[in-house]
């Protein structure tokens, strides 16, 4: 008998990505690569002032230009109000009608023969503004007498002092007894105002849209660089008066998202409506300077932290007052993201009492929304900085003060003061693994030796827990929180599977292929994963909140399980065996214990489609779908350690070491997981060290291009050192938690802690990000009483 080749199990293996051959040869199809005969191009005229009334718009010169098809102002699209959000929100039209509220807000749109003419015509539009004072500082924005962005939101308050935590049920009156008691019993209290500053997500592919309304069919196809094609389909259908069956949304190859491509943006809506009105295909491609003002920003939260503790390091209570600078309007997740900072204020600790309050403030800036981490890095940052300040005050090792407060593993599932239920965890194990992996004691000796040589070297450590696997539906009333998949075994034995989660670089075609190859015992080359086209993958919610594997992967697994069970029944009939005795391996389906009694996978598939005779109780065919509704989120966790040196002469910080232990539960492809962690670390380090949005007092974005806003380059990083612990989640059958955002969590507080440690000889307690050399130089060289941040400990 011929030897049957043994197929290796692929789950847990470093399988090379199936996406890569096309991408490394320039054969991917991103949205700007979509060409349609007769395609015309859009360009937006955008506000170049932060706050003004529009007196008039003169489009005559633009309309007179050769090659211009049409020009639309806000008044001509006044009915277009793209986004509905759950909280009370001001009207946010796709194109401004009478008032502009941030630099970059669309004022008019041009349709022209090519992108050069469209840009020329947009530049030829003249807008006469009546200037209004700009509101820039979120704390001053709340004062009486400050100009109002939206008359229906007095004092620019989008959300007015929402309490949460111990004794504060949602919507109820907060009972402060427990938190007041904690502070009354405190032997030491830490207090610090901290800024978790705004960032621009900066996916390297800017956004873009192609809309093709076909008047003959009465249907629309829309391509967009989006994380959520299904939500896009639903929104565009609502906006255009078409049915969800008449709109096909396609997320082609998407060049990075990082949360900023979750929203359904004004430009997507305008592109669709222009195509419908004119009956022609149209394209809009964002340029980088537009991306800086027209794509949502991230972070932008001020935290006032108070931490009450005993002198032995045990924390008794935490107060955290949050002020979120949300910009001019509510986008899809604008109001929700800062609530995640509240949700995760419990961090990895068994705090007896917490009181958080959240205020969200309108300012004349680009709206904020999800950016990798989305509210959780902010929480991690505020609490971890607090733990460091406590350690410094008590002269304790930062690892030991944390150890004293970690949630013990026996307490899982752990009900936090903030209302979350942490699914599973072993935080002390992660801490110990990190200390051992980085050689914490060795690093301390190294630091001390460097200091003895006069060098400014510091160490930082941070723990994190984040919320991932985002669902369930009750948490996401706007869209639902499930995922969907359909798995089909074709009659030739090949497998096609759809998923509602469409990646922007996460490699789902590979990981999901690994899963089905193992599940059916077939080569991965026989599995095709289809995504990002609502005509193919008809249902889905989207890619965000590190949910692809935990929620989307589970739906895939469930659909696969259904098909496999049915295929086993066909095989049982063919092989005259019981379905429970059927095994799938090495591309064959056979009877357990009798491998010779079997058929090839393809033979059984063929029989399922041409069943003669049809086994009793079975319908022909092998195609099943599943919706997975998670019962809870997942809570990955970990610990980051870093070492940093500051140049005494220039103040320039240099990262010497980054070492991370992450626990994301079970891993499908460790290579892809490493890539995700690297990317998250890079964005966290970017925030801590070089990235920062700066607005002028007039509301002008001063960091509006890649020449003014620093994105990390290869030489900005040391080699990242990664280790993992594995604590599976009980929330889904895969035991997978999600890892896409993990790297952004612990990196910012660990780096700031290292900088503070490096500058310990100057009596520094806290330094706000980012670590601009000038800021550090002033601490080293400036008079301490004038440095503003030194000498307060």
Partner 1 sequence: MVHVSMKVNGKARKAQVEPRMLLVHFLREHLLLTGAHVGCDTSQCGACTVLLDGRTVKSCTVFAAQASGSEITTIEGLATDGRLHPVQEGFWEEHGLQCGYCTPGMIMSAVSLLTDNPKPTEQQIRDGIGGNICRCTGYQHIVNAIQYAANKR
Structure tokens at 179: 């938190």
Q: How far is the CB of 10 from partner 1 (least distance, A)?
A: 15
Closer to partner 1 by Cβ: residue 255 or 386: 255
- Neighbouring-strand partners of residue 51: none
Q: How far is the CB of 507 from partner 1 (least distance, A)?
A: 7
CA distances 315 to 395, 397, 402, Å, are 15, 15, 9
Span of 19-27, 66-74, 231-239, 763-771 interacting with partner 1 by CB under 8 A:
19-27
Span of 128-136, 200-208, 476-484, 636-644 interacting with partner 1 by CB under 8 A:
200-208
Helix (H) or strand (E) holding 58: strand 52-58
Relative orientation angle of helices 508-520 and 554-575, to the nearest 10 degrees: 30
Span of 24-32, 134-142, 165-173, 617-625 interacting with partner 1 by CB under 8 A:
24-32
Q: How far is the CB of 204 from partner 1 (least distance, A)?
A: 5
Peptide bond into 413 cis (omega under 30): yes
Residues 663-702 that bind partner 1 (CB under 8 A): 671-672, 674-675, 678-679, 681-683
Residues in the chain: 793
Q: What is the C-alpha separation between 443 and 8, in angstroms, rounded?
A: 41
Residue 205 binds to partner 1 (criterion: CB under 8 A): yes
Q: Which of 118, 254, 272, 337 contacts partner 1 by CB under 8 A? A: 254
Closer to partner 1 by Cβ: residue 615 or 718: 718
Closer to partner 1 by Cβ: residue 306 or 662: 662
Closer to partner 1 by Cβ: residue 176 or 723: 723
Q: Which of 217, 395, 719, 786 contacts partner 1 by CB under 8 A? A: 719
CB burial readout 512-521, b (16+ within 10 A) else e: bbbbbbbbbb
Residue 294 binds to partner 1 (criterion: CB under 8 A): no
Closest CA to 343 of 377, 306, 309, 296: 377
Q: Which long-range contacts (CB under 8 A, 24 or more apart) does 387-391 make?
A: 387/307, 387/315, 387/349, 388/460, 388/749, 388/753, 388/756, 389/190, 389/192, 389/307, 389/765, 389/766, 390/188, 390/190, 390/307, 390/309, 390/313, 390/315, 391/313
Q: How far is the CB of 282 from partner 1 (least distance, A)?
A: 16
Residue 255 binds to partner 1 (criterion: CB under 8 A): yes
Residue 207 binds to partner 1 (criterion: CB under 8 A): no
Residue 705 binds to partner 1 (criterion: CB under 8 A): yes
Question: With contact defined as beta carbons under 8 Å apart, do 71 and 125 qualify?
Answer: yes
Q: How many C-beta atoms lie closer than 10 Å to residue 45's C-beta?
A: 23
Closer to partner 1 by Cβ: residue 516 or 681: 681
The answer for 395, left when phi > 0, alpha when psi is -120 to 50, beta otherwise, is left
Residue 28 binds to partner 1 (criterion: CB under 8 A): yes
How big is the site for partner 1, counted in residues (CB under 8 A)? Answer: 56
Closer to partner 1 by Cβ: residue 368 or 543: 543
Q: Which of 4, 8, 12, 21 contacts partner 1 by CB under 8 A? A: 21
Closer to partner 1 by Cβ: residue 26 or 170: 26
Closest CA to 527 of 477, 587, 460, 589: 587
- Distance of alpha carbon 648 from the chain centroid: 37
Span of 215-223, 611-619, 646-654, 714-722 interacting with partner 1 by CB under 8 A:
714-722
Q: Which of 8, 9, 35, 592 contacts partner 1 by CB under 8 A? A: 35
Question: With contact defined as beta carbons under 8 Å apart, do 529 and 512 qualify?
Answer: yes
- The three-class DSSP label of residue 160 is strand
End-to-end, the C-alpha distance of the chain in Å comes to 79
Residue 19 binds to partner 1 (criterion: CB under 8 A): yes
Span of 129-137, 216-224, 626-634, 703-711 interacting with partner 1 by CB under 8 A:
703-711
Residue 548 binds to partner 1 (criterion: CB under 8 A): no
In 3-state terms the chain splits into helix, strand, coil percentages (rounded to 5) of 30, 25, 45
Q: How far is the CB of 532 from partner 1 (least distance, A)?
A: 13
Residue 267 binds to partner 1 (criterion: CB under 8 A): no
Q: Which of 151, 217, 714, 783 contacts partner 1 by CB under 8 A? A: 714
CA distances 552 to 484, 498, 503, Å, are 7, 10, 11
**CA torsion, ordered 140, 146, 147, 153, to nearest 10 deg:** 80
Contact flags string 500-539 toward partner 1, x per CB under 8 A: ----xxxx--------------------------------
Span of 20-28, 103-111, 178-186, 569-577 interacting with partner 1 by CB under 8 A:
20-28
DSSP secondary structure letters along 720-735: EEEEE-----SSSTT-
Q: Which of 24, 436, 565, 702 contacts partner 1 by CB under 8 A? A: 24
Please, where are the H alpha helices in 411-458? Answer: 427-438, 440-452
Q: How far is the CB of 289 from partner 1 (least distance, A)?
A: 6
Contact residues: partner 1, CB under 8 A = 16-17, 19-21, 23-30, 32-33, 35, 116, 202-206, 253-256, 258, 285, 287-289, 504-507, 671-672, 674-675, 678-679, 681-683, 705-707, 711-715, 717, 719-720, 743
């Amino acid at each position: 008998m011929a030897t049957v080749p043994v197929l290796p199990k692929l789950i847990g293996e470093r399988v090379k990505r199936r996406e890569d051959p096309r991408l490394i040869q320039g054969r991917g199809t991103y949205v700007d690569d979509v060409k349609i005969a007769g395609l015309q191009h859009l360009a937006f005229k955008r506000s170049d002032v932060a706050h003004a009334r529009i007196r008039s718009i003169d489009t005559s010169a633009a309309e007179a230009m050769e090659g211009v098809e049409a020009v639309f102002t806000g008044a001509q699209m006044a009915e277009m109000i793209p986004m509905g959000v759950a909280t009370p929100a001001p009207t946010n039209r796709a194109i401004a009608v009478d008032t502009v509220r941030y630099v970059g807000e669309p004022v008019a749109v041009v349709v022209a023969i090519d992108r050069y003419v469209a840009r020329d015509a947009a530049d030829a539009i003249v807008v006469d503004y009546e200037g209004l004072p700009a509101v820039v500082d979120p704390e001053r924005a709340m004062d009486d007498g400050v100009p109002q962005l939206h008359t229906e939101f007095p004092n620019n308050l989008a959300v007015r002092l929402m309490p949460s935590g111990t004794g504060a049920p949602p919507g109820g009156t907060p009972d402060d007894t427990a938190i007041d008691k904690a502070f009354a019993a405190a032997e030491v209290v830490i207090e610090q105002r901290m800024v978790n500053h705004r960032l621009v997500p900066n996916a390297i592919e800017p956004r873009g849209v192609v809309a093709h309304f076909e008047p003959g069919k009465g249907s629309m196809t829309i391509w967009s660089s989006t994380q959520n094609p299904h939500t896009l389909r639903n929104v565009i259908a609502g906006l255009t008066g078409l049915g969800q069956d008449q709109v096909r949304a396609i997320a082609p190859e998407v060049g990075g998202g990082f949360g900023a491509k979750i929203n359904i943006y004004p430009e997507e809506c305008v592109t669709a409506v222009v195509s419908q009105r004119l009956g022609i295909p149209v394209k809009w491609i964002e340029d980088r300077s537009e991306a800086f003002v027209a794509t949502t920003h991230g972070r932008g939260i001020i935290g006032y932290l108070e931490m009450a503790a005993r002198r032995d390091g045990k924390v008794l209570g935490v107060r955290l007052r949050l002020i979120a600078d949300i910009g001019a309007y509510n986008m899809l997740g604008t109001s929700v993201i800062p609530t995640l900072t509240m949700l995760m204020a419990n961090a990895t600790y068994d705090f007896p009492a917490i009181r958080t309050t959240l205020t969200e403030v309108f300012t004349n800036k680009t709206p904020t929304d999800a950016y990798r981490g989305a509210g959780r890095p902010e929480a991690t940052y505020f609490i971890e900085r607090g733990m460091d300040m406590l350690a410094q005050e008590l002269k304790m090792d930062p690892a030991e003060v944390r150890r004293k407060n970690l949630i013990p593993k026996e307490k899982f599932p752990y009900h936090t003061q903030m209302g979350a239920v942490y699914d599973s965890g072993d935080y002390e194990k992660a801490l110990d693994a990190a200390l051992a992996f980085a050689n914490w004691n060795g690093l301390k000796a190294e630091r001390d030796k460097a200091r003895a040589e006069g060098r400014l070297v510091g160490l930082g450590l941070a723990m994190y827990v984040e919320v991932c696997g985002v669902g369930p539906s009750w948490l996401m009333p706007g869209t639902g929180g499930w995922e969907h998949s359909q798995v089909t075994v074709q009659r030739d034995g090949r497998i096609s599977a759809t998923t509602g989660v469409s990646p922007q670089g996460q490699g789902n075609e590979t990981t999901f292929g690994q899963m089905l190859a193992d599940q059916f015992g077939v080569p991965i080359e026989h599995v095709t994963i289809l995504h990002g086209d609502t005509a193919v993958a008809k249902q889905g919610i989207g890619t965000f909140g590190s949910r692809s594997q935990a929620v989307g992967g589970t739906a895939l697994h469930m659909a696969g399980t259904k098909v496999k069970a049915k295929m086993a029944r066909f095989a049982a009939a063919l092989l005259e065996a019981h379905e429970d005795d059927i095994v799938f391996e090495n591309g064959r389906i056979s009877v357990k214990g009798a491998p010779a009694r079997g058929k090839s996978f393809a033979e059984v598939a063929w029989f399922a489609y041409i069943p003669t005779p049809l086994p009793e109780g079975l319908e022909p065919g092998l195609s099943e779908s599943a919706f997975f509704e998670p019962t809870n989120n997942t809570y990955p966790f970990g610990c980051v350690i870093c070492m940093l040196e500051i140049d005494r002469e220039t103040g320039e910080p240099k990262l010497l070491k980054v070492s991370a232990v992450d626990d994301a539960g079970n891993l499908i492809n460790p290579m892809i997981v490493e890539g995700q962690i690297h990317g998250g670390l890079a964005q966290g380090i970017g925030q801590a060290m070089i990235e920062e949005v700066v607005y002028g007092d007039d509301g002008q974005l001063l960091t509006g291009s890649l020449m003014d806003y620093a994105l990390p380059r290869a030489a900005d990083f040391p080699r990242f050192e990664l280790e993992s612990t594995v604590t599976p989640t009980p929330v889904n059958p895969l035991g997978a938690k999600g890892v896409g955002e993990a790297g952004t969590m612990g990196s910012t507080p660990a780096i700031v802690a290292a900088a503070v440690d490096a500058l310990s000889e100057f009596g520094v307690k806290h330094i706000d990000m980012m670590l601009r050399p000038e800021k550090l130089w002033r601490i080293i060289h400036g008079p301490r009483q004038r440095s503003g941040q030194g000498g307060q400990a």
